[in-house]
Amino acid sequence: MSLTLQVLLGGIAAGAVYGVVAIGHTIVYRLTGIVHFAFGDLIGVGVFTSLAVAVGTAPATQAGLGGGRFALALLAAVAVCLVAGVATYVLVIEPFLARGSVLGWIGGVVAVALAAQALVNSIFARPSYVFPDPLPFRHVGTAGVVHLGSATFQIRSVFVIGVGVVLAAAAGWTLRATRFGRALTAIAQDPEAARLVGLPVRRLTAIAFGVVGALAAVLAIVAAPGAPFGTQSGAVYGLKGLAAAVVVGFAGPWRAFAAGIAFGLAEAAAGGLEIGGASLGPAYREVLPLAVVILLLAAGLVRDVVEERE
């Protein structure tokens, strides 16, 4: 029972980040038909931008961080992600999509991923960094850890889940209820028709690339103080978000978010899973859920992925 609550909260907190990343992947795919392999690396760039603005490139202490400084860092990250996302679409994706070249856009996205990796790795030399927490969770419970019955969990994971749900809801609401969102939906359904009725398809898509990247980076930054953030962590978020988005066939934003939560839960469960009394151990959490997603893909069980006769 105690373990269950711990697994649930930890899994949902991690899954919320995957879920928002999955929303980003879904929107990108629905708008353009491409898979944004550099998405996670751009999130990493956002997170490290905020780290650089908040505390510089030196190892940070766990001691507090002013709220104003943190807000500035968050803003800088949003700005960088927006610009990087828009530039990615305009400079390396759209030209190849227009040419109908699959290898072209894959190459372009790979180039962005490589450039983002090089940027982060050249400036941040250590394998991982600890983010100071801007919010005073450490004053709650024992250094931010709360005991509920026999379960122990970080109080900030509840906060991360809350922010994740708010961001997912905001994305869903934007798509459904705003002019911008409805225009994106129209483009996703038929870009040619959207262009014919006068929608600035290229500009809207570019903005969407920026916004979804910034959204995901914000949540990654909110979640980052929970654990050390490595130079590859952004890419791993991108990968797990993609796994979640792809397994529901890039269906709508809510399903992508739910799949992300499910992925996080599966990870947490795989770590604590016991089969016949023998525990699988934490090593499996990184491997099992991803392996299951690949199996589902390979088995052709995911909607619309198989190249088939009609």
Q: Which residues contact 28 (CB under 8 A, 6 or more apart)?
A: 34, 35, 36, 39, 208, 209, 212
Residue 22 in contact with residue 244, Cβ under 8 Å?
Answer: yes
Nearest alpha carbon to residue 78 among 277, 257, 220: 220
Candidate residues 18, 37, 70, 257; the one interacting with another protein per rule CB under 8 A? 37
Q: Which residues contact 258 (CB under 8 A, 6 or more apart)?
A: 19, 248
Candidate residues 3, 83, 110, 170; the one interacting with another protein per rule CB under 8 A? 110
Q: What is the DSSP string of 175-205?
A: HHHSHHHHHHHHHHH-HHHHHHTT--HHHHH
How far, in Å, CA of 129 to CA of 60, rounded? Answer: 8
Q: Does 118 bind another protein (CB under 8 A)?
A: yes
Q: Does 299 bind another protein (CB under 8 A)?
A: yes
| Token representation of residue 114 | 């490589």
Residue 97 in contact with residue 103, Cβ under 8 Å?
Answer: no
The span of 32-40, 49-57, 131-139, 195-203 binding another protein (CB under 8 A) equals: 32-40
How far, in Å, CA of 73 to CA of 71, rounded? Answer: 5
What angle (nearest 5°) sits at the alpha carbon of residue 283, between those of residues 282 and 286?
Answer: 100
Q: Other CB atoms closer than 10 Å to residue 50's CB: what's the count?
A: 26
Q: Minimum CB separation from another protein for residue 102, in Å?
A: 5
Q: Does 230 bind another protein (CB under 8 A)?
A: no
Q: Does 204 bind another protein (CB under 8 A)?
A: no
Q: Which is nearer to another protein, 199 or 220 (CB)?
A: 220
Candidate residues 53, 151, 158, 239; the one interacting with another protein per rule CB under 8 A? 239
The span of 57-65, 139-147, 200-208, 294-302 binding another protein (CB under 8 A) equals: 294-302
How far, in Å, CA of 32 to CA of 15, rounded? Answer: 25
The span of 48-56, 71-79, 94-102, 219-227 binding another protein (CB under 8 A) equals: 94-102
Q: Which is nearer to another protein, 148 or 306 (CB)?
A: 306
Q: Minimum CB separation from another protein for residue 223, in Å?
A: 19
Q: Minimum CB separation from another protein for residue 50, in Å?
A: 21
Q: Minimum CB separation from another protein for residue 181, in Å?
A: 24
Residue 15 in contact with residue 163, Cβ under 8 Å?
Answer: no
Q: Minimum CB separation from another protein for residue 29, in Å?
A: 8
Candidate residues 53, 158, 163, 297; the one interacting with another protein per rule CB under 8 A? 297
Q: Minimum CB separation from another protein for residue 72, in Å?
A: 26
Candidate residues 12, 43, 113, 187; the one interacting with another protein per rule CB under 8 A? 113
Name 278's bridge partners. Answer: 275
Q: Which is nearer to another protein, 122 or 142 (CB)?
A: 122
Residues that bind another protein (CB under 8 A): 33-35, 37, 92, 96, 101-104, 106-108, 110-115, 117-119, 121-122, 125, 235-236, 239, 242-243, 246, 283-287, 290-291, 293-295, 297-300, 302, 305-310
